[in-house]
Each structure stands twice: as C-alpha cells, then as structure tokens.
C-alpha cells in the first residue's frame, strides 16, 4: 500500500466516525442497570414470595428448584419482552479467553398452527450446547459431544440487543469443568469458608466472606483503516514487524494527558452502554504509550466483576468499530512501547462489611489485619510459580520480564509501614506483644496503623503483587485474558493458607495456649517463612533476578514450562483439597494451554512468513531495481566519474541484498523448524519446540525487516508504520 493510499484509508475511517455521542438526558444513576434483571426488576416482576426465595439463592447460595425457576423465568420473560427481546442464550466462558453464546428464539408452536413466545424455567436452568468444538483438553472426545451449561444465579441475567443473556457454567457430561466459571465459583466458595472460619477468631458474627475484584483494563485504539492494512494486526492482534517511531513514549506526554476528542467520544459511548449493563465504570485515562488508554470500574464481587470484564471486552471491540477504531486487547501490540495489562485489585470482605486487608482501629482489628496480610503472603510464597502460570500465555509472555510490566517473578511489595510492622512482630516474642494485665484487659503491642495509610501507601509499579492500602494489586494479568484464571489460583491459594493457619492455631489452643498468643505464634512463624517473596526494590533490575533465584523463587521464563507449575504435586494437592479442580481437570487444562500456545506461535509464524515473502521482499527488490537503474543511468551519462556519484546507492543496493537474503533464508529455516515441531505428538513437547525453535525466528527476522523499513522509499512501503498506528487518533 502506498503512503497516499494509507492516507486515503485513514481519511475514510475518520469520515465514518460519529462526530460526537449525544449525551443522554438521563443521569447515570437513572440508566445504570437498565438492561439487567437485578433485584429492583425482580421485585417488580416477581411475586413477593418468589422474590424473597430468589434473594436467598443469590445471597446465601441456597439451591434453586425447578418450580422456583419456572416462576423466575416467567417474570424474566415479561421484563425481557417489554424490551423487545425475542431470543435467549446461555452465555459462558469456555477456555478460549472469549465468551460463547448460542441463541434460541422464544417462539414455540402453539399447537393450533400458530406460534407463541415461550420461556420456561428449564431453558433458564440448563442448555445443552454442542460442546465438541470447544477446547476440552481431551476430557471429552468429540463423539461424546454433550456439554451442559447451567445457570449461575449469582450473576444477574441481562439483555443485549434482542437477546436475553443468561450467565452460565459450562461442564462436560461427566461433570468436569470446561470453562472458567465453574472452578472460579468453587474457589470463591473455598475462600469464603476458610476466611469465615478464621474471622470467627476475631468477630463471632461473621457468616460469609466474599472476594472482591476491581480490574483496571488497559487497551490500545488504532485507526480501523490502518488496522485493516496490517495482516499481522488483523490476524494476530499485534504487529509482528515495524520500526519504532522516532517519537513514542519517551516524552511521557501521553500518560494522564488530555483525551483526544475522537477517543473521548468512544469512551463516552462505551461507558453509557456499560452502565446500562450494570458495569459501574468509574475511571478513564490515557496510559503511558501513545494511543493507549485505561478503563476501571468500581470493584465488585469477584464472579460478577469477571463477568463484567468479559462483557466489557466484547463491548469495547464492538463500539470501537462504530468510531472508526479497532480496540487492541493484545498484551503487546507494539514492540518498544508499553504493553497492556489488567491490574487485578483483590480483597476479601465479610458480610458485616469488614475489609479484611484493611487496618482497623482496635487491637483486634489489627490482629485480624496482620493475619490476612501474612496469610496472603503465605499463599503467594507457597504458590508463586503457580500464580505466574495462572497469568502466563503466549501473548502475555511478551510483557512479563520485558522491563515494563511486572517481571516474570512473582514477589510482593508491602511498603515501608507494613514492612516495619511485620519486622516488629517478627522480632518481638509473643508474650511481649500481649500485655494481659493492662487496665483495659488485654492489650496487643501491634503498633497502630495510621488511617492515612489506606490512601497513601507508597507505590511500586514494578511489583507484580503489591499491597495498596486495603487490598493487593495483582498486576501481572494480561489485558486480553479472562481474570478468572488468576482469581482461581489466588483465591484457592488463599483458602489453603487460611485453612493451614487455622489448623495450626487450633492445635496450639487445644494444648492450652491463649487464643491471641497462639495466633501471634503462628503469625511470627509465617512472617519468617514467607520472607522470600517480600521485595520492595526495583523488580526490573538484573540484580533482582539473581537475588530471586537465590531466594528460591520461580524465575523460569519459558511460557510452556511455566505451565508445568499447575501439575506440581503441591498445586494438585491444593486444588483437590480445596475442592476446586481435580487432577484430571488440571491435566486437561494444561493440554489446552500448551495447544493454545503452539497455535498462537504457529499462526504468527505463518503470517510472518507470508508478509516477509510477499509484502517485504518484493518491495525491497523493486526499490533495489530502481537504485540499480539509477546507477546504470549515471554511468551512461558520467562514465568513470559515476563510480563516486553512485557510491551511496551501491552501498544501499548491497545492504538490501544482504537483508533480503537473510530474510529469505531465515524464513525457510523457520518453516523447517515448524515442520519438525509439528511432528511432535506430545502437546507439551510441541509447545516447547515452538518456544525454543520457532518463536526466536520472529524476533530475528524482524530485525532485518525493520532495518529495511528505514531505507526503502516511504512512498512504496507496504505497511502502515508505527508512527501512523500510534499517533493517528
Ligand atoms: P490505580 O491508582 O491503582 O490506577 P484505579 O483507580 O485505576 O487505581 O483503580 C483501582 C481499582 O481498585 C478500582 O477498580 C477500585 O474500585 C478498586 N479497589 C479499590 N478498593 C478496593 C478493594 N478494597 N478491593 C478490591 N478492589 C478495590
Ligand atoms: Mg489505574
């Protein structure tokens, strides 16, 4: 594509964009949740008794029977039909990082030759989508293609366009999870139980503990016309080649800068639609890289927050196109500038409203605070390799350890105040920490924690698991990933840590130890035990990598090998005893992870080969010919004298020859490496072969292509360049 054509394409996309989005006359508080069958709608559309029972299902997890489901379906249908809905679908999250749906019309024969709209409890509760084309890791061979989707009543039903969307789990005929939601709900249940039990040491009234998640979604917007002219972006979501722009993020002028008008219109449109779907959007801003932005809602219960994140990723893509953009959720669309992540702000909260990672005002509150902090650290300490595996993917691998996002080592930043506090507890005997003779009875010598800490904790952008005042921020999650993967691992690890904690405290109490002394004893022990993951320094530095290895942290960088952590004995034991996943499910999931890894690199390598051979080489040769032509002509006119005049051109001709030769021969070698890898039967071994022998060619060949981009006439360069992709907005 010539630069003139590129310009035309951009112009067309600009012309297509809506100039502005009309501001609704209603306020967000009026249209928030307009398309959600929330409690307010339930109250209106369900009989009072049904409403009460449904609340019990949602709030306390009581089971749902078919009679109740029928009553709920009737109310739901009435509400949906008033919104013009004609179809219904179960909406689920297969192991592909996207969502899936299969729409059925409400219509049924009425038995009199006509049609009626029907929607019964059984279609609400269960569907049987053909599961054969979803990844199952071999749990279910395709001839036993049946899979069930079953309603998750803890996440509300909503309407998109003409369709009633029902959030569901997706399981195989024999009961194994084929999705993210099933193990997520089990992990949340495990952490609920374990945390509630521990809370009872401090607060006798606690009945439930919920996990919270506040995700911050980063993304890029690229002009749709330019996007379409890049086969790599179109098919892999990232640029496989492209020289860095003379100016990119070095001036730090994009972060928190004023939002460009066209982007602002997109954001407004997105937020309105998200709010209507009950997603509590709150924050929006420019991110570090040019054309990179962030969106964050107010945190919610973890399961709901994940559904909302899945929903908004779909919305972002759809609405971006309306504005002449494409939304990139790939973790590393452009080399040389920051990639995109999805910070997962995670905390636990009791049904009595106590944020368990938040310091309190009383000694008891503070002992609870220290307990939940230390046991979170214990979870990360024991499973740091697994947590890394939970966020690892072929696409996120570009980000981790690439000196921008968190490094490929999971450690935790606590900040000075909290570190001092833990150091103090570690250095002081339990007896000295408790003063039982005080005037007010028991007194704990835990230094009081100033309230300002919640808002003012020091920040460390390089830490993958940072304490931020009343929560931990797991920063290594990929922008395009389903957060459930990270949340399953984290919440299960936390549940296990809390169960172990309680077991040990109870054993001491049984031996006659005072409860607080017992708790402090175990905490002191754990503070020492998990010290290796506490790191407040620069996570990007080489010294840290060396130091972390010495401390015994997982420093593996190869994505397919990192997946092995799921099958470590302590991981299997954790998932099984916490009743989240079985060994068989874990194995099946790993097969899918390795296969997905291989396919991602395979597709990239194919497209890369195509582009190198049929986009770059022909243009390079054409330009080279025009240079040789020029040299010839100079010689015709100037004879001997031309030797000097064509010096530079001859150098260029040589450089182009050298680079095109490099490219052609390495592309061939990459194809050969692929062929060898493809013959490997074992998914794990094949993924490792792709990682070790195919993927490196992508970087290697790219080097020569990017150099060619710098010397070849801009007029004929066939691909939109970084400066266009990153600065046209
Ligand atoms: P940052 O300054 O880290 O970029 P943002 O305002 O972009 O912060 O996002 C912070 C996210 O953390 C929001 O989704 C917010 O609702 C969420 N959050 C705040 N407090 C908690 C908490 N206790 N538990 C979980 N998430 C929280
Ligand atoms: Mg933020």
CA atoms within 13 A on the CB side of 391: 34
Q: What is the 3-state secondary structure (H, E, C) of 475-502?
A: CCCECCCCCHHHHHHHHHHHHHHHHHHH
* Both structure tokens of 239: 């640029």
91 lines ligand 1 (CB under 6 A): no
299 lines ligand 1 (CB under 6 A): yes
pLDDT for the residue numbered 116: 86
Ligand positioned closest to the Cα atom of 296: 1
298 lines ligand 1 (CB under 6 A): yes
Calpha distance 14→8 (Å, rounded): 10
283 lines ligand 1 (CB under 6 A): yes
Calpha distance 42→68 (Å, rounded): 13
DSSP letter at 129? -
Distance 486 CA to ligand 2 centre (A): 18
Distance 214 CA to ligand 1 centre (A): 5
Distance 227 CA to ligand 1 centre (A): 32
Q: Residues near 685 by Cβ (< 8 Å), separated by ≥ 6?
A: none
Calpha distance 53→41 (Å, rounded): 15
Q: Residues near 29 by Cβ (< 8 Å), separated by ≥ 6?
A: none
Q: Which residues pair with 328 in a beta bridge?
A: 220
Ligand positioned closest to the Cα atom of 301: 1
Ligand positioned closest to the Cα atom of 472: 1
210 lines ligand 1 (CB under 6 A): no
Atom of ligand 1 nearest to the CA of 214: 14
* Both structure tokens of 95: 């192991």
Distance 216 CA to ligand 2 centre (A): 6
Angle between helices 583-611 and 647-678 (to 10 degrees): 150
Calpha distance 425→442 (Å, rounded): 17
Ligand positioned closest to the Cα atom of 210: 1
Which residues in the chain show pLDDT less than 70? Answer: 1-24, 140-145, 401-406, 435-458
Count the helices and strands in the chain (H runs, E runs).
28, 19
Q: Are 412 and 463 in contact (CB under 8 A)?
A: yes
Atom of ligand 1 nearest to the CA of 297: 14
CA 328 remoteness from chain centre:
13
SS3 343: strand
Atom of ligand 1 nearest to the CA of 470: 23
Q: Residues near 531 by Cβ (< 8 Å), separated by ≥ 6?
A: none
Calpha distance 98→100 (Å, rounded): 7
pLDDT for the residue numbered 523: 96
C-alpha closest to that of 214 among 13, 513, 399, 472: 472
C-alpha closest to that of 323 among 217, 221, 230: 221
- DSSP string across 671-697: HHHHHHHHT--SHHHHHHHIIIIIHHH
Q: Are 122 and 69 in contact (CB under 8 A)?
A: yes
Compute the chain's Rg from CA coordinates: 29
Calpha distance 391→679 (Å, rounded): 28
SS3 607: helix
Nearest 10 degrees: Cα torsion 454, 531, 500, 498? 10
Distance 348 CA to ligand 1 centre (A): 13
Please identify every residue whose CB atom is under 5 Å from ligand 2, which is an ion.
Answer: 216
DSSP letter at 282? E
Q: Are 505 and 516 in contact (CB under 8 A)?
A: no
- Number of neighbours of residue 2 by Cβ within 10 angstroms: 13
Distance 460 CA to ligand 2 centre (A): 13
Mutation to probe ligand 1, out of 214, 286, 453 (largest number of atoms < 8 A from CB): 214
Mutation to probe ligand 1, out of 210, 216, 357 (largest number of atoms < 8 A from CB): 216
CA atoms within 13 A on the CB side of 295: 26
Distance 400 CA to ligand 2 centre (A): 18
216 lines ligand 1 (CB under 6 A): yes
Calpha distance 671→609 (Å, rounded): 8
Q: Parallel, antiparallel, or unpaired for β 115-117 and 107-109?
A: antiparallel
Distance 18 CA to ligand 2 centre (A): 28
Q: Which residue minimizes the CA distance to atom 12 of ligand 1?
A: 214
470 lines ligand 1 (CB under 6 A): yes
Distance 345 CA to ligand 1 centre (A): 6
Calpha distance 485→495 (Å, rounded): 16
Calpha distance 303→297 (Å, rounded): 14
Q: Are 85 and 36 in contact (CB under 8 A)?
A: no
pLDDT for the residue numbered 439: 46
296 lines ligand 1 (CB under 6 A): yes
Calpha distance 350→195 (Å, rounded): 9
355 lines ligand 1 (CB under 6 A): yes
295 lines ligand 1 (CB under 6 A): no
Q: Are 496 and 387 in contact (CB under 8 A)?
A: no
214 lines ligand 1 (CB under 6 A): yes
pLDDT for the residue numbered 539: 84
- Number of neighbours of residue 537 by Cβ within 10 angstroms: 14
SS3 130: strand
Q: Parallel, antiparallel, or unpaired for β 87-92 and 163-172?
A: parallel
Calpha distance 701→541 (Å, rounded): 28
Distance 292 CA to ligand 2 centre (A): 13
Distance 155 CA to ligand 1 centre (A): 21
463 lines ligand 1 (CB under 6 A): no
Q: Are 6 and 714 in contact (CB under 8 A)?
A: no
End-to-end CA distance of the chain: 20
pLDDT for the residue numbered 123: 87
Q: What is the pLDDT of residues 408-441, one digit of tens each?
A: 899 999 988 889 889 999 998 877 777 654 444 4
């Amino acid at each position: 594509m010539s630069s003139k054509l590129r310009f035309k394409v951009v112009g067309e996309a600009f012309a297509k964009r809506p100039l502005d989005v009309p501001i609704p006359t209603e306020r967000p508080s009026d249209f928030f949740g307009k398309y959600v069958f929330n409690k307010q709608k339930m109250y209106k559309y369900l009989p009072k008794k049904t409403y009460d029972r449904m609340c019990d299902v949602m709030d306390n997890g009581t089971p749902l029977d078919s009679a109740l489901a029928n009553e709920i379906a009737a109310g739901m249908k009435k509400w949906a039909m008033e919104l013009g809905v004609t179809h219904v679908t179960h909406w689920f999250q297969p192991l592909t990082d996207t969502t899936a749906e299969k729409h059925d019309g409400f219509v049924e024969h009425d038995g009199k030759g006509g049609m009626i709209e029907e929607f019964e409890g059984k279609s609400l509760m269960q569907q049987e989508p053909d599961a054969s084309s979803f990844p199952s890791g071999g749990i279910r061979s395709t001839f036993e293609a049946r899979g069930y989707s079953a309603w998750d009543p803890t996440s509300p039903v909503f309407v998109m366009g003409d369709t009633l969307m029902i959030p569901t789990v997706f399981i195989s005929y024999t009961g194994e999870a084929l999705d993210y939601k099933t193990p997520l709900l089990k992990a949340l249940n495990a952490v609920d139980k374990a945390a509630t039990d521990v809370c009872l040491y401090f607060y006798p009234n606690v009945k439930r503990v919920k996990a919270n998640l506040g995700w911050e979604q980063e993304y890029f917007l690229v002009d749709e016309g330019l996007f379409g002219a890049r086969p790599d972006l179109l098919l892999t979501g990232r640029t496989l080649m492209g020289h860095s722009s003379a100016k990119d993020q070095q001036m730090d002028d994009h972060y928190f800068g004023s939002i460009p008008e066209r982007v602002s219109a997109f954001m407004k449109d997105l937020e309105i639609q998200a709010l209507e779907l009950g997603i509590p959007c709150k924050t929006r801003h420019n991110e570090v890289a040019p054309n990179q932005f962030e969106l964050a809602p107010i945190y919610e219960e973890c399961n709901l927050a994940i559904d909302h994140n899945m929903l908004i990723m779909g919305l972002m893509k759809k609405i971006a196109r309306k504005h002449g953009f494409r939304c990139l959720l790939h973790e590393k669309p452009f080399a040389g500038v920051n990639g995109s992540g999805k910070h997962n702000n995670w905390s636990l909260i009791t049904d009595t409203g106590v944020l368990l990672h938040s310091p309190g005002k009383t000694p008891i509150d503070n002992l609870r605070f220290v307990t939940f902090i230390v046991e979170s650290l214990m979870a990360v300490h024991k499973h740091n390799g697994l947590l890394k595996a939970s966020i690892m993917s072929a696409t996120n691998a570009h980000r981790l350890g690439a000196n921008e996002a968190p490094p490929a080592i999971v450690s935790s930043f606590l900040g000075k105040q909290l570190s001092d506090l833990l150091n103090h507890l570690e250095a002081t005997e339990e007896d000295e920490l408790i003063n039982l003779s005080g005037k007010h009875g028991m007194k704990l010598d835990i230094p009081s924690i100033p309230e300002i800490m919640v808002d003012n904790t020091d920040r460390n952008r390089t830490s993958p698991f940072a304490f931020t005042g009343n929560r931990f921020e797991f920063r290594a999650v990929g922008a395009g990933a389903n957060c459930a993967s990270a949340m399953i691992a984290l919440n299960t690890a936390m549940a296990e840590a809390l169960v172990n904690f309680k077991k040990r405290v109870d054993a001491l109490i049984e031996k006659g130890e005072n409860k607080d002394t017992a708790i402090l004893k175990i905490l002191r022990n754990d503070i020492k035990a998990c010290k290796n993951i506490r790191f407040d320094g620069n996570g990007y530095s080489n010294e840290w990598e060396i130091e972390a290895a010495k401390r015994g942290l997982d420093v593996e960088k190869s994505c397919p090998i990192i997946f092995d952590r799921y099958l470590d004995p302590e991981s299997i034991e954790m998932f099984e005893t916490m009743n989240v996943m079985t060994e068989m499910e874990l194995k099946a999931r790993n097969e899918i992870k390795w296969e997905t890894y291989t396919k991602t690199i395979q597709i990239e390598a194919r497209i890369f080969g195509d582009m190198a051979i049929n986009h770059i080489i022909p243009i390079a040769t054409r330009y080279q010919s025009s240079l040789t032509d020029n040299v010839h002509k100079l010689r015709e006119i100037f004879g001997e004298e031309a030797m000097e005049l064509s010096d530079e051109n001859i150098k260029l001709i040589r450089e182009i020859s050298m680079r095109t030769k490099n490219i052609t021969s390495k592309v061939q070698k990459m194809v050969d490496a692929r062929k060898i890898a493809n013959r490997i039967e074992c998914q794990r071994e094949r993924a490792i072969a792709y990682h070790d022998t195919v993927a490196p060619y992508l970087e290697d060949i790219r080097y020569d292509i990017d150099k060619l981009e710098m010397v070849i006439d801009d007029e004929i360069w066939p691909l939109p360049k970084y400066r266009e992709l990153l600065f046209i907005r």
